[in-house]
Amino acid sequence: MSKAITLKEAVKKPDLLASGHRLCAGCAEPIIARLVLKASRGAIIATTATGCLEVATTIFPYSAWRIPWIHTAFENAAATASGIEAAWRAMRRKGRGPLAKYETLDVVAFAGDGGTYDIGLQALSGALERGHDFTYVLLDNEAYMNTGIQRSGGTPYCAWTTTSPAGTVIPGKREWKKPIDEIVIAHEIPYTATVSPAYPLDLMQKARAAFETEGPAFIHAISPCCRGWRFPPNKTIEVARLAVETCFFPLYECRVEDGRPIYKLSPPSLAIAKRPERKKPVEEYLKIQGRFRHLFRPERRGDLIERIQRWVDRRWEMLLEKAGL
């Protein structure tokens, strides 16, 4: 185990994702990527599925990646990561090749919700099942933002998108957010965690734990998108924090030990579990985002807000049960 991460040390570590990338002002994705990369142990190789992070960090002839980086299509970030890990192992075994000298190698795949919930799920499932030693980071901005805000399997219920428009016929997306973490955990991989960029130390510690894990590790990051979620760019972290404070997106880790999933709530969510009166109503999270505006205007849709609250409550209770709380 390498030394525990502290803000004091991490601030000194140079960014491996350089400035000059062209993600929107106020985007959460570079915040998350910077924090994940700060947690790397040494040699690291990244691959990115098609998505905002990929297209905005690698506009030819510029690249914001200060580490080896491999382009991947939409559907196969996990397959590319598997290949990197397999190549490194082969070079180690043979004692030759450019990767042979690295005793540890952090292999990280970044993909969005489109590249994970929908298009990349098969490659992800295969890589998890084969047990490759890599870290998969899901940057969940809850729609296909880079192509124009189309709904994905990660888009929450009632959210407006260009393909789930809110109007007199439907109130935004009619389906619920796919429980991707449960799907991943069902593969019995050693480490899964949820993170929010509002809690940088927690995020870096989990990324480090993921890198240190032998075998597949999955990090699910909530990644507020000011353009697609319709809020001012300076509120990104506020939204990312409210997602946790309302238990819409609780923070936890799940380690599979001896075939059993062991859930552990992270400090911000554990504090709510201990003092339930601190749990904020989901309405506070919904009302600062324009994609849910139709739940409040022209009239308040109490029925739909209540339905979302029940979904949050049920999933939170299920999580508490799993964590033995």
Kindly list the residues in this chain that would bind another protein in the complex (CB under 8 A).
Answer: 7-8, 10-12, 15, 17-23, 25-31, 34-35, 57-64, 66, 197, 200, 232-238
Using the minimum distance from each CB to another protein, give the nearer residue, 118 or 238: 238
Per-position b or e across 140-164, b if 16+ CB within 10 A of its CB? bbbbbbbeebbbbbbbbbbbbbeeb
Tokens describing residue 312: 């949050």
The number of beta carbons lying within 10 Å of the beta carbon of residue 279 is 18
Using the minimum distance from each CB to another protein, give the nearer residue, 19 or 168: 19
Supply the minimum distance, in Å, between the C-beta of residue 129 and another protein: 30
Using the minimum distance from each CB to another protein, give the nearer residue, 60 or 95: 60
d(CA 51, CA 45): 18
d(CA 150, CA 74): 15
What distances in angstroms separate CA 217 from CA 78, 79, 163, 191, 220, one per listed residue?
11, 14, 32, 5, 10
Using the minimum distance from each CB to another protein, give the nearer residue, 182 or 238: 238
Using the minimum distance from each CB to another protein, give the nearer residue, 233 or 281: 233
Supply the minimum distance, in Å, between the C-beta of residue 66 and another protein: 8
d(CA 280, CA 167): 28
70: exposed, middle or buried (C-beta count within 10 Å: 0-12, 13-18, 19+)?
middle
Tokens describing residue 153: 């399997």
Supply the minimum distance, in Å, between the C-beta of residue 266 and another protein: 17
Supply the minimum distance, in Å, between the C-beta of residue 11 and another protein: 5
Using the minimum distance from each CB to another protein, give the nearer residue, 21 or 315: 21
Supply the minimum distance, in Å, between the C-beta of residue 174 and another protein: 32
Cβ atoms of 39 and 9 within 8 Å: the answer is: no
d(CA 40, CA 187): 25
Tokens describing residue 251: 């923070």
d(CA 309, CA 302): 10
Supply the minimum distance, in Å, between the C-beta of residue 21 and another protein: 5
Using the minimum distance from each CB to another protein, give the nearer residue, 65 or 117: 65
Supply the minimum distance, in Å, between the C-beta of residue 272 and another protein: 20
